[in-house]
Chains A and B, each alone.
Chain A
Amino acid sequence: MLHVALANIKTYARRYIAVILAVAIGTAFLAATLAVNTSTRATLKNSLGDSYKNADLVAFPDWSMASSEGEESKDLSMSNLDDVRKLNGVSTAYAIAYSAGEVHTADNGYTVLTSPVSAEQNLGGMELVEGRAPLRANEVLIDDSHAKDMNVSVGDTISLNSQDTAAKNYTVVGLQRSSTDPQISGYALLGMQEGAWTKFAGKDFVPSSIVVNASGNIDAVQNELKTYFTDQKLKNISVLTADEKVIKDVAALTDGSDQLTMVLLVFALIALVVTGLVVVNTFNVVIAQRTRELALLRTLGAKRKQIRSSVLIEALLIGILASVAGVALAVGLMAGLIKLLHIYVPSMSYATLALSPIGLVIPVIVGILMTVIAASLPARRAMKLAPLAALRPFDSASVKNRAGKLRIIFGLLLTLGGAALLGYGAYKGELPIAFVGGLFSFPGILMLASLFVPSSVYGIGKLVAGRSVAGKLAALNAVRNPGRTTATATALLIGVTLVSMIMVGGQTAKATLNNSIAGEYPVDVTVSLFDQKADPAKTEKLAKEISNIQGVEQSTTFRSATAVIDDPGSSEDAGLQLMAVDPQGFEKVALDPSIVPADGEVVMVSGYLKPGTKTMTLGGETLKVKESKASLYTDIVTFDTLKTLKTVDANSGFMGVLVKVDPKLDSAAIGKLVDQIVETAGVERYMVDGGVVQNAMFSQIIDVLLTIVSALLAVAVLIALIGVANTLSLSVLERTRENSLLRALGLKKKQLRAMLAQEAVLIGGVAALLGLVLGVAYGLLGAQATLSGMGDMSYDIPWLQLAIVLVVSIVAALIASITPGRRASKLSPVEGLAAE
């Protein structure tokens, strides 16, 4: 049977292009996911290993080696280093130790990590780029990238101090290569002569490890070290080879990247399921077309099993071809990306493409298995063909698909059970329950797809067609083979459902967060000048400048102060933090009018007051209490009231500006606005806060997540659209006779193309529409389950984005119909009728 299968693939290669493409993309996704994982590890190994690059052995405290019987564990010390250097077979040894310090240049101050460097001891693992090693106590090395930032070069003098040591001048005698170890990269590194460093950091400074180069047998030196540390009662010190240590460090750091891999794997799985549907469809059509041929083989003595295996052999060959191509595509893509990274981000030069044999073999195996398993359903159908089918002169190609009763019952159970769980989870705000509900109900709905997809396609088709013949035929053709239409539409429906679910969920999450955050802050934006003493004139000027920024509606100043509560019942004096404002100005920026104080009043949050509290004595004055339901961080009084109070920090309180922004601004505009405020006020970013700022931040995070997830799901949608084109072009082949008959009877080429286009749009559009409906439902319920614990839900459906999804699906379906349409219309009426 192998030669028949091979001959079939060779002859009908074109029919398999789309399915090979689909399988290749699905497999490539999986392979890329695994390659991301291995490459992350290799990159980390490359960068983490930077510290031990030329080392043989590393001694370090291993906290998993718990000291037995409550023995006190001892730390490494610099004196251990001296001992280690005297051991047999140790050629060089140095400590890896980073002690923080501050460097001051002529212009600025920097936080640095200092480390011991000894010219005789392998330079402490450092690599000189320029100059020489520090030999005297007042000489240092600086890492090359930070030297540039600090504007320091060899020969310059810098001042270095730490919390415990006074500033001292040092001469820069060389530049060391900056480290790619992610644990220390980002800090400026300063290499000091070892003795000087020990004085600077203190004799008791605990090094993180001792690194040894052996002159003799490494195993012997390793044993020597182990014995030494045991003798020293340093039981929790582990001695590993440098390679072993790096592997250990990578394992500790890659937990996060494994989670990323898991998430990516889920998306790869979705893409593969969609690919499987495309495969099922392709083989169904191919087998329908070959009914006569397969029946002939049965007549000539092919057993049922032989028919099935001939179909499966074809699937196997296609699976092998497509999976290998897919993995090659993924490897090429990853290599290209890393190359780009090397070119455009020089600091990531240690990024490495790593491919594990397993990571390459698994996607190929999964791709092949998926293709063969997906083809086994159509193959079973082929097996059931009666030999007699070969003798019927012209077999009509219409295949009846009866949805299996079992599948319907199972699908119904899954849908109902899942929906109940989903509803309950959403109602109670229990995400895990809702998640399981979604996990059950969606496959359940897909199992039931054959019940509602063909009828929706037909119904909408009839509605849209009106009186055009081509339209009516398209509607009929689209449901001519309900099983095939269902599978094609389902592939697209999965992608669209997930995309729209994410969009609706994300939008609702944004709206809900906006709402709940807005309630937490009394004003849109607060600029707190923590670092300056209160200066009313200057702050007033700043408020004016800020109000000139585009997008700012109002601004006013405030002053922070602390007054003591005179509570006769309490022995201790409790300080109350207050914000003093100008009531006229504050009224214009306050988000809730109930928080605006009058003179002689203090606005307090009702939740924190004893019920029935009418007045409160603060800083020697009795003030009327105004309760507010809004959540406030501080209690509010007017400037005039504040003047009458005795405050704790009369001389040290700070001032600031309260800002109201245009409510129509979106998160990107707010981000920009905050940048402008930061610049205008000349403050650090953390001093600018408020509901709007928080919202903008959350919105941006959600938007980034949405974009990434949508892009990942787009792969599944792309494969599904290839499926639409595939189904259509196979249908055209199948209907050659019929289409030429229509042409012979007077259907214009244009009408024929329009008919196919309408068929594609119908399947694509209805699938997208159903997907959107499902996606909106899942998105809202999912958001409810996730967020209802955070307070009131604000449901928000991104109509525009959903409309774009629908339009993209329809346009893509239209594009998918171009090639099949062209092929169908090329056929001359006579040719088609002659072809058998």
Chain B
Amino acid sequence: MTSETLPLTDYAVSARGLTKSYGHDSTRVQALRSVDVAFARSRFTAIMGPSGSGKSTLMHCLAGLDTADAGQIMIGGKDLMSMNDDELTMMRREQIGFVFQSFNLVPTINAKDNILLPLSLAGKRHDRDWFNTVIEALGLRDRLNHKPHELSGGQQQRVAVARALLTRPEVVFGDEPTGNLDSRTGAEVLSLMRTSTREMGQTIIMVTHDPAAASYADTVLLMKDGQLVGSIEEPTVASVTEALASLAE
């Protein structure tokens, strides 16, 4: 990534000097060591690394779910580090979408209401055309009136993807989005995510430890010990596996 050549604001998401540690004194863990990173618009990026490498912490900080100790985070030209809780909430509501490993749908309401939840929290009406586009793209037309427990895992995750896409956010974060799916439905969801980048211009940042999942991305960033240690453009399963193996040394 060429963070030196472009000002930070030209990226969908970028961070500079991001530092984060947990615990005190002897139990202190340095999760992020002055990370500089930038994610171009309309790209699908995967962040990989062994457990404890800081990839999840990086994503939580970038998404405004966790606060970094120091550094700067810009999303859509706004600095997250200077925001209070309400401003962060508005940011999440309007500029950020989430897809989680365990789907995280509200169990008591149906698929349609789950998809519309971020908009109804904001008290906004949805764009009917865009809603239909997203629903058709994800093949959810027949499932809108089902409660989450009446849906398969793949369907639940597609509902979660639809929920993330509906607000046309600056960026969608995926936290092991296929971790709870079998490989076939996982592949289905990942293709849908890639399609949304290609056809809808959606920026996606995904944390995963599965090389097969990472191979759907445009770029793979590699992390170790709280630092970015490399990247792979146009990754394949083989190239990612190889790169991971070299990290583990």
Contact = CB atoms under 8 A, between A and B. Distances in A.
Interface of A: 1, 3-4, 7-8, 10-12, 292-293, 296-304, 306, 386-388, 390-391, 393, 836
B29 interface: no
Interface in B78-110: 85-86, 89-90, 92-94, 98, 100-102, 104, 106-109
A297 B104 CA distance: 10
Contacts of A1: 120-121
A301 B106 contact: no
A391 B108 contact: no
Given A301-B89, A301-B94, A302-B89, A4 B100 contact: no
B121 A297 contact: yes
B163 interface: yes
Contacts of B248: none
Contacts of B60: 388, 391
**Which 5 A-B pairs give the minimum distances between C-beta atoms?**
A301-B93, A7-B108, A11-B108, A7-B109, A301-B92
Main secondary structure of the interface of B (DSSP, over half): helix
Nearest to A310: B121
B65 A293 contact: no
A3 B113 CA distance: 9
Given A7-B106, A301-B93, 19 more contacts: A4-B108, A4-B117, A7-B113, A11-B108, A293-B107, A296-B104, A300-B93, A300-B121, A300-B163, A301-B90, A301-B122, A302-B89, A302-B93, A304-B85, A387-B65, A388-B60, A388-B65, A388-B66, A393-B101
A292 B101 CA distance: 13
B118 interface: yes
A101 B109 CA distance: 81
Contacts of B122: 301
B100 A391 contact: yes
6 contacts: A8-B108, A296-B104, A298-B89, A300-B98, A301-B122, A836-B102
Nearest to B179: A393
Nearest to B90: A301
A306 B85 CA distance: 13
Nearest to B109: A7
B175 interface: yes
A12 B102 CA distance: 22
Contact of A300 (B66, B107, B109, B117): B117
B47 to A, nearest CB: 15
A390 B104 CA distance: 8
A387 B92 CA distance: 10
B120 A299 contact: no
A1 B86 CA distance: 17
A269 B178 CA distance: 55
B92 A296 contact: no
Nearest to B89: A303
Contact of B118 (A301, A303, A393): A301
B108 A300 contact: no
A830 to B, nearest CB: 18
Q: Which of A292, A301, A302, A391 has the most CB of B within 10 A?
A: A301
B107 to A, nearest CB: 7
A306 B121 contact: yes
Contacts of A386: 65
Contacts of B106: 4, 7, 293, 296-297
Interface in B119-158: 120-122
Contacts of A390: 100, 104
Contacts of A4: 106, 108-109, 117
A737 to B, nearest CB: 15
Contacts of B109: 3-4, 7
A409 to B, nearest CB: 28
Contacts of B86: 303-304
Contacts of A12: 108
Contacts of A3: 109, 113, 120
Q: Which of B66, B117, B118, B122 has the most CB of A within 10 A?
A: B117
A461 to B, nearest CB: 33
A4 B92 CA distance: 19
Interface string B214-229: 0000000000000000
Contacts of A393: 101-102
A430 B86 CA distance: 56
A497 B163 CA distance: 54
Interface in B2-58: none
Q: Which of B60, B101, B109 has the most CB of A within 10 A?
A: B109
A10 B113 CA distance: 15
Contacts of B117: 4, 297, 300
B108 A10 contact: yes
Contacts of B85: 304
Contacts of A8: 108
A836 B107 CA distance: 11
A7 B108 CA distance: 6
A387 B67 CA distance: 11
Nearest to B66: A388
Contacts of B89: 298, 301-304
B169 to A, nearest CB: 10
A642 B108 CA distance: 97
A829 to B, nearest CB: 21
A4 B60 CA distance: 26
A292 B104 contact: yes
A308 to B, nearest CB: 13
Contacts of B108: 4, 7-8, 10-12
A388 B98 CA distance: 12
A834 to B, nearest CB: 12
Contacts of B100: 390-391
B175 A391 contact: yes
A11 B121 contact: no
Nearest to A298: B89
Contacts of A297: 106, 117, 121
A47 to B, nearest CB: 56
A735 to B, nearest CB: 19
Contacts of A306: 121
Contacts of A387: 65, 92
A299 B65 contact: yes
A380 to B, nearest CB: 14
Contacts of B92: 299-301, 387
Nearest to B60: A388
Contacts of B65: 299, 386-388, 391
Contacts of A388: 60, 65-66
Contacts of B101: 393
Contacts of B107: 11, 293
A781 to B, nearest CB: 50
B102 A299 contact: no
A149 B236 CA distance: 111
A300 to B, nearest CB: 5
A12 B65 CA distance: 29
A710 B163 CA distance: 57
Contacts of A7: 106, 108-109, 113
B89 to A, nearest CB: 5
Contacts of A300: 92-93, 98, 117-118, 121, 163
A778 B249 CA distance: 73
Contacts of A304: 85-86, 89
Contacts of B120: 1, 3
Nearest to A299: B98
A299 B118 CA distance: 9
A3 B121 CA distance: 11
Nearest to B104: A296
A12 B108 CA distance: 9
A290 B175 CA distance: 21
B40 to A, nearest CB: 25
Nearest to B85: A304
B171 to A, nearest CB: 14
Contacts of A293: 106-107
Contacts of B175: 391
Contacts of A302: 89, 93, 121
Nearest to A305: B86
